[in-house]
Structure formats: structure tokens, C-alpha cells
Amino acid sequence: MQTPVIAPSILAADFGNLEREVKMINDSQADWIHVDIMDGVFVPNFSMGLPVVEAVKRHAKKPLDVHLMIVNPDHYLAAFCKAGAHSISVHVEACPHLHSTIQQIKALGCKAGVAINPHTPVVQLENIIADIDLVCVMSVNPGFGGQKFIEHTYRKVEKLKKMILDANASALIEIDGGVNQQNAKPLLDAGADVLVAGNFVFSAANPIDVIARLKATH
């Protein structure tokens, strides 16, 4: 098993001390910074917009992994790329022309990801899996942090890993929601590559140590 990619979710950070929080991630063993964008339409909550992404990018030494939980993401791809995104994930449920959206992301020079909600079967990715760099598997219902991990995620990851291998594809599997030290190893055993962690990291007394322990999971 390879060492997991760890992506702390800035949504759970202290926005009053954003520079400090980003520098903490810089100093940690984290690999990416996960950035959740919510529009209050696709999901029942608002988060941050382009100015915050730009602010994070100014201080970040790790790649920004931008997750667009929004309707009509095509309208904003160029703006988020310009703001500093390294990878952009869009929701299959929000993209009626997903292949076109993926091609747009790649044309901008970003890695292309597709996110799927807990109720969405992985078979919906069958015809796109070879074209994408990342699958973001939502292991909670999107919109709010701090939710309980959905147990059927393990089986979903196993199915997705088989699909990727059968297609001789190279997409990474990212888990977003409720990740902690208890479920990290079972998720990696099921086939996950990237662990997004929000409250588990930022509510800890020593976030750098929590990130190090997640990174050491195998």
C-alpha cells in the first residue's frame, strides 16, 4: 500500500486566522489543501468564494485541491484556475455534459476530478473514468462539516477501485467527509488514495501531529 495523500480541508479552519492555519498546513506532512466551494443551491450551505481561494493561495506551499459543490460549475472553472487551483473537482450530479466539463478543466491546465454524492452509484463514472485524475467520494452528505461517516463508503470504494483497474485508468480515489484515525486504514485497504480531513485536524490540540498520524497510516 502506498503512503496516503493527506488533504486538510480549510473549510474547518479558523477563518479569523487563515494565514496561520495555511502556514500550519505548510509546516505539516500534508500533501494538498482541500478547498470546499458551496453555493447554497447545489448544497444547503455557503462557504468561501474566489477572494478566499486567492488568499489561501498567497500563503500556500501545497497544491490547492478545489471541490466545487455548485450548480453550473462550467461558468467558474477559469476563475478558480486563475485563483490558484491545482485540481478542480465537479459533481457528476451538477454536470449534464460532464465530458465537456472535464475537457475544459484540463484545457485550463488543472487536474480534473469528479465528485459523487453518497447516493450516487459509481457506475455513473464508467464512461469517464479513464479521462479523469481524481474521484472525490463523498462519505457524508455535502454541505456541512462535522458529519458522521457513512459506512457503505467502504464498499463503494472497492467497486470504484475495481472499475479503475479494469479500465487501466490512473484516477486517484479521494475520501471527503468524516475521515478520522479509526476509518483511515479501512478506507486505504478498500482502495482509497487521498484522505480529506477537516474537523478531525483543525479541532485537534496538535493538528500537525494528527496530520502526521494520518500520513503514517498503512
Q: What is the pLDDT of residues 60-82, one digit of tens each?
A: 999 999 999 898 999 999 999 99
Neighbouring C-beta atoms of residue 132, cutoff 10 Å: 24
Name the 3-class secondary structure at 61: coil
Q: Is 168 exposed, middle or buried (0-12, 13-18, 19+ CB in 10 A)?
A: exposed
pLDDT tens for 1-57 read: 579 999 999 988 888 888 999 999 999 999 999 999 888 787 777 777 788 899 999
Q: What is the CATH number of the domain that holds 160?
A: 3.20.20.70
Predicted TM-score of the model (pTM): 0.95
Q: Any known ligand binding at 67? A: yes
Residue 113 marked as a ligand binder:
no
Question: Which residues are part of the catalytic machinery?
Answer: 36, 176
| Residue whose C-alpha cell reads 455548485 in the numeric block | 70
206 contacts 212 by C-beta, under 8 angstroms: no
On whether 146 is known to bind a ligand per the annotation, the reply is yes
- β-sheet bridge partners, residue 64: 33, 85
Question: What pLDDT is stored for residue 147 in this prediction?
Answer: 67
How many domains is the chain built from? 1
To 5 degrees, how large is the angle CA 78–CA 83–CA 88?
Answer: 60
Range of the domain at 64: 5-216
